[in-house]
Structure 1
């Protein structure tokens, strides 16, 4: 549909091609905005919540449509941002930078912005002079993942015994998750406690992400082979809802996998916040966490009881894993009482800091703060509906 120009690559595309691309994007974006606007009119929608549409250039048509809704149709929009395009090196120095600066995100004072961490808030204030609300990732601790008759079949279905020790990486496979460090952690643990090695399996539950080709997957598989770690990629058996695949095999949710795990590894070099961390805590599963930036600023001092590994790396970029971390893990996976005490403490602490009541209170504050603009948008829409009906 568009000329072949990669946003992060200056070597692609002539000036003529870039102009054609921008014209096409403007036309298609305008058409999408009109369709959304009609839907808003027909359904009496007061405000649009733009979920990460104008922070990363993954859907330029969508971003353009939302931008036009906010700037031309004067629709009330609350932008919810996770992370930003200028934080990713592949988007720096691109031919579309002027456009990205204009629409990702727009800075009109009639718009409201929400981010998921104090770091993201600082970033947006510094780069775009926008003062956002902070709403962290939250979890429904009143309805946590639990073992039931369905997910109790997981181990048998996937060939694990009740004695196997399942280390789980409950994330997508992308480089910033630093899955290689999790493999090294499991390898070090096996070396220190060789009597457990034959029972240890390392599982990655989710799929290859959208940030890479197959090379990273092949790379971690090679590392696992070299380190003698039994690695299982089970994404084909994990879905957003329970069901069966085309072979009639049971499909499990990521939460079903979590409640069957003995220990979770979560050692990213960067995270916008940490959904997988909160889901793990809600499932009452112990975990090891690397002290990535947002963890240090927004999570670390909230009472989480975990195996905390400082984000220190050697000359080869490998996470430094101290022996006492391995000793902590051993105590957790071999002593049910220690595990229960740690996970219950973490559950209660994270429920207080990041439970649904926290989310409800923050959303209430945002809607109250943005109430006047929502009312103004409602009046504009009502006037348009009256005009169109004549």
Structure 2
């Protein structure tokens, strides 16, 4: 007989549309279906549910936490000395430990799953505090690593002896008995080579069992609200607005597609709408703006305007779930997919690719840049994607924006035009992709991968 466990999952935030938050929800669903209880703990964006405890100190967005991140990985200038940095790190750690212990005891946790805090390094004090409370309460631990600090776009520079100790001891911890999970084979290899830690690969997945996302009474006005005509071609960029997502390549693609479709005016799109003289290609960004105060979005807006591309950012109207307050709707990400004609996924670096699976689930064609993990861990499954260019052709302009040879972008636009107007070709592409996703990256696949962990936990804690 299997014991039912109390599982705690802790992350900087929950209830958002980032990859970590989305995967947490999928893991939680598997654990609940197996009879376990699951409790969340986060620093921001709490879910409106009794199972989520908010400890604001877990957020890395405060000035204090940003200073510790900088002091660990870049410069001690903000502290003045190594001693001052150590004092601040210790004080923050001790405060967090008390609050985390209270959460652990309140929920009577058996299992602690640490989501990304022990790998990405954005909150060193939280990493230390979690390791210490896990030891103190003798918890069974699974460390779920999505991103590592050594993968940052700006190379890290460990500033002092203490910062080196933090990275060595806590990012991630080497404690005997801890289980480690990564989301791709590259991370598995790097963790073994850099830290001597073995890890299991569990890829991101999606629920392919439910019906398609469709237009309904709530989202039926989606296009109208944002000034998008039914005959416009909606290219959906569903990721967060952050540089490594390479959204500037989607702008180039939208421009090339716009030019390609000039010869298609008056013809019916795959859905029967006529691509008329008034029809447009629109690139719609629906993700949140991350960390840079909107500087990247401003760059994208200037680039789009210069190239004559219709681009909209609607991130402030997209949420984790639907809602309506005083007549103003917040749509879910799935509502956006229901109205999209194609998805752009031009990221040049991804730990996995949640939005890629979402597009497959939505049965939409995808125009993507073949980033490294796509090539190594996803493409071998046999997906049919429109590639924006060759990985070795990627370069950057003087503004730090990614670019690809125009001939490659134009080639992708020609492929896209085919699946926008040829219903049969479109169906073959999206139906085949859906079947592959359903077989390889489904919730059932996740259940099979998590089953050995749950079985071991129940045996050990019986």
How many residues are aligned here?
A: 370
Query: Within 5 A, what are the aligned runs for 1:235-274?
Result: 235-246=315-326, 248-274=327-353
Counterpart for residue 97 of structure 1: 164
Q: CA deviation at 1:110?
A: 1.0
Describe the shift of the 1:26–1:257 C-alpha distance in structure 2 as closer, same or farther (beyond 3 A).
Answer: closer
Q: Could you tell me which runs of 5 or more consecutive residues in structure 1 were left unpaired when the two chains were aligned.
A: 379-390
Question: Helix, strand or coil for the counterpart of 1:203?
Answer: strand
**Alignment equivalent of 1:50, drawn from 81, 98, 114:** 114
Secondary structure of the residue aligned to 1:209 is: coil
8 Å contact kept, 2:257–2:281:
no
Question: Which residue is equivalent to 1:351?
Answer: 438
Q: CA RMSD in A?
A: 2.1
Looking at structure 2, the residues matched to 291 and 114 of structure 1 have their Cα atoms a distance apart, in angstroms, of 24
Deviation at 1:89, TM superposition (A): 4.8
Paired residue for 1:319, among 395, 398, 404?
Answer: 404
**Which residue of 1 is the match for residue 311 of structure 2?**
231
2:418 is the alignment partner of 1:331: yes
> Pick from 56, 59, 74: which aligns with 1:9?
74
Matched, 1:142 2:201: no
Deviation at 1:40, TM superposition (A): 4.1
- Is 1:221 the equivalent of 2:288? no
Q: Which moved more, 1:217-226 or 1:47-56?
A: 47-56
Q: Is the 8 A contact 2:97 2:130 kept in 1?
A: no
Residue matched to 2:21: none
Q: Contact conserved, 2:124 with 2:166, CA < 8 A, in 1?
A: no
Matches within 5 A, 1:1-390: 2=64, 4-5=67-68, 6-7=70-71, 8-10=73-75, 11-13=77-79, 14-41=81-108, 45-90=109-154, 92-95=156-159, 96-149=163-216, 150-195=218-263, 198-210=279-291, 212-246=292-326, 248-309=327-388, 310-311=390-391, 312-314=393-395, 316=397, 317-320=402-405, 321-369=408-456, 374-375=460-461
- Relative to structure 1, the CA distance from residue 183 to residue 313 in structure 2 (aligned partners, 3 Å threshold; closer, same or farther) is same
Contact 1:117–1:272 (Cα < 8 Å) also in 2 = yes
Higher fraction of strand: 2
Q: Quick one: distance in 1 between partners of 2:206 and 2:457?
A: 24
Query: Hey, what's the Cα distance between the residues in 1 that align with 2:97 and 2:149?
Result: 22
**In the aligned structure 2, how far is the partner of 1:54 from the partner of 1:161?**
46
Is the Cα–Cα contact under 8 Å of residues 203 and 231 in structure 1 kept in the other structure? Answer: yes
Change in Cα spacing, 1:213 to 1:91, as seen in structure 2 (3 Å) is: farther
> Displacement of 1:355 after TM fit?
0.7
Deviation at 1:16, TM superposition (A): 2.9
Tell me how far apart the structure 1 counterparts of residues 346 and 158 of structure 2 sit (CA, whole Å).
Answer: 31
CA drift of 1:349 comes to 0.8
- C-alpha distance in structure 2 between counterparts of 1:104 and 1:259, whole Å: 40
**Contact preservation (8 Å) 2:287, 2:315:** yes
Q: How much has 1:328 moved relative to structure 2? A: 0.8
Unaligned runs of 5+ in 2: 1-62, 266-276
Q: Distance in 1 between matches of 2:374 and 2:290?
A: 22
User: Is 271-280 or 51-60 further displaced after alignment?
Assistant: 51-60
1:52, 1:80 within 8 Å by CA — same for their partners in 2?
Answer: yes
Instruction: State the alpha-carbon separation in 2 of the partners of residues 2 and 151 from structure 1.
Output: 40
The 8 Å contact of residues 112 and 370 in structure 1, kept in 2 or not, is answered as: no
Partner of 2:34: none
8 A Cα contact 2:387 2:412, kept in partner: yes
Alpha-carbon distance between aligned partners in 2 of 1:66 and 1:173, rounded to the nearest angstrom: 30
TM superposition shift of 1:60: 3.6
1:97–1:371 distance in 2 versus 1, CA, 3 Å = farther
Q: Deviations over 1:230-257 (max 9, x none)?
A: 01001122111111245x1222111110
Show the counterpart of 1:384: none
1:189-214 deviations in whole A, cap 9, x for unaligned?
2223335684211100111023x232
What is the rounded CA distance, in whole Å, between the counterparts of 1:368 and 1:91 in structure 2?
Answer: 40
Show CA shifts across 1:150-170 (max 9, x none): 223211222221111111101
CA contact (8 A) 1:202 1:232 kept: yes
Change (3 A) 1:315 1:250: closer
Quote the Cα distance in structure 2 between the aligned partners of 1:131 and 1:291.
Answer: 27
- Give the drift of 1:218: 0.6
Task: Report the alpha carbon displacement of residue 338 of structure 1 after superposing the two structures with TM.
Answer: 1.7
For residues 339 and 327 of structure 1, what CA distance do their matches in structure 2 show? 13
What is the TM-score normalised by the length of structure 2? 0.75
Q: 1:249 to 1:26 in 2, by over 3 A?
A: closer
